[in-house]
Amino acid sequence: MVTDGQILPVCLRQVIEPVATTSTIQSAIFVKPSVLLGYDARDAINPNFGTKFIRTSQLRFMPVNIFESCFYLNDSHVTVAVTYYMTDIATFPSFGYMNYSVPLRIEVRTKSAPDGNEGTYFYNIFRFLSDLTVEQQQQALSIPPGIFCLNQTNTKPAPSNFSDKISMNGEVLILFGKEIIIESLDTIYDRSFQFAQFKSWSKNGEQTIELHDFATGLVYRYLASTRQCKVWTFNSSMSDAIPMPGQSQFFQMASPLHLFLLDNMNFQYTGSRECHSHMLCHVWIGENARSNQSGFERREWYWAYQFNNQTIEPWIPIRLINTRLDAQHKPIALMETNLYKYRTNPLTEFEVDGTIADCYRALGPTG
């Protein structure tokens, strides 16, 4: 879709019905590839599909066997004639690394019964895989990054079982208009200890430490460069605090689900994707209309489940892409958080005690 000269990707949903069409482009006689490989409109095996051997030949200096097939598509009233150029592993065994013949080229000719229109197109195939692993299927069926499909059926629940003691560090990239902000972060979140600590380093190296003490309802902010400390009480702007039921003026520590921004948005699984070298991630995306404002907020979460072909259990959060969109779904701001170290059961007491000590020294004597 093009809006104000800007190309915006759009996801359209169509229910596959018993008479679902095998043509993916209505303005041309173009059938989806699975039909050419022996499947029907619902991607089930077509019992009436068959091929006939024609002759041997060469394609791009490689010996091939040529097969033909001809069939009629009831849903779109189209006759399809297909020519397959298959590798001849008996003549050229060096190509038969998979021990079976694979297609190198598929030529398609179509003719529409109602109007007699004819079409011709072909596929040159450079890589062909069959009997895919679960990971390969997930990657093949993945929705492109950043694409949200409204009302899509979720096929895998997003992570929800977290430890009550978490630490993580990483980097945040913020894009707003022509402005770019990069910050480093180090976070400790401990519900059993009732403390949360957020350290950040700006691009000029300035360090800020913010400590949330839920036992007393106090926030400490310590600026390392000037050794200044400010203290104030909790308020509704804090991302890790939620109002107590029936007492909106008091706050309690939110669950880790709230910290990871997973509790107020419905997420849908978009597939498996390589998120770092030798690392595979499950990906979820969600979108909500922004409260009291026009536009939308979109979140895309990457959770690592495999590294160097070794399973990671439990999954590890790797990346969160948070995009703010206007009413026409045009991006107006983006915040990408990349996490490089994630641990459970951190040494909260050591980290928190040091911050409180620095703050008390900065505040000086009272009374």
At residue 20, the pLDDT reads 59
335 vs 128: which has the higher pLDDT: 335
At residue 249, the pLDDT reads 82
Domain ranges within the chain, ordered by starting residue: 22-131, 133-367
pLDDT bin (cut points 50, 70, 90) of residue 36 is very high
- Cα(329)–Cα(148) distance, rounded to whole angstroms? 11
355 vs 297: which has the higher pLDDT: 297
At residue 150, the pLDDT reads 84
- Is the pLDDT at 241 greater than 60, yes or no? yes
Percentage with pLDDT > 90 across the chain:
44
Stretch 291-311: mean pLDDT: 91
pLDDT bin (cut points 50, 70, 90) of residue 158 is very high
pLDDT bin (cut points 50, 70, 90) of residue 246 is confident
Percentage with pLDDT > 70 across the chain:
92
Q: Tell me which amino acid residue 86 is.
A: M
- Enter the tokens of residue 60: 């791009």
Q: pLDDT of 202-224, one tens digit each?
A: 877 789 999 999 999 999 999 98
Burial class (CB within 10 angstroms; exposed 0-12, middle 13-18, buried 19+) of 28: exposed
- Is the pLDDT at 105 greater than 90, yes or no? yes
Stretch 111-137: mean pLDDT: 83
At residue 219, the pLDDT reads 92
Average pLDDT taken over every residue of the chain: 86
CATH placement of domain 133-367: 2.50.20.10
At residue 268, the pLDDT reads 93
At residue 28, the pLDDT reads 55
- Cα(329)–Cα(9) distance, rounded to whole angstroms? 10
Stretch 67-72: mean pLDDT: 93
Q: Which of 13-17, 35-39, 179-183, 195-199 has the lowest mean pLDDT?
A: 13-17
- Is the pLDDT at 128 greater than 70, yes or no? yes
- Cα(223)–Cα(230) distance, rounded to whole angstroms? 9
Three-state secondary structure readout of the chain: CEECCEECCCCCCCCCCCCCCCEEECCCCEECHHHHCCECCCCCECCCCCCEEEEEEEECCEEEEEEEEEEEECCCCEEEEEEEEEECCCCCHHHCCCCCCCEEEEEEEEEECCCCCEEEEEEECCCCCCCCCHHHHHHHCCCCCCCCCCCCCCCCCCCCCCCCEEEEEEEEEEEECCEEEEEEEEEEEECCCCEEEEEEECCCCCEEEEEEECCCCEEEEEECCCCEEEEEECCCCCCCEEEECCEEEEEEECCHHHHCCCCCCCEEEEEEEEEECCEEEEEEEEEEECCCCCCEEEEEEEEEEEECCEEEEEEEEEEEEEEEECCCCCEEEEEEEEEEEEEECCCHHHHHHHHHHHHHHHHCCCC
pTM above 0.95, yes or no: no
Q: What is the largest CA-CA distance in the chain?
A: 100
At residue 168, the pLDDT reads 94
Asked if residue 170 lies in contact with residue 338, where contact means CB atoms within 8 angstroms, the answer is yes
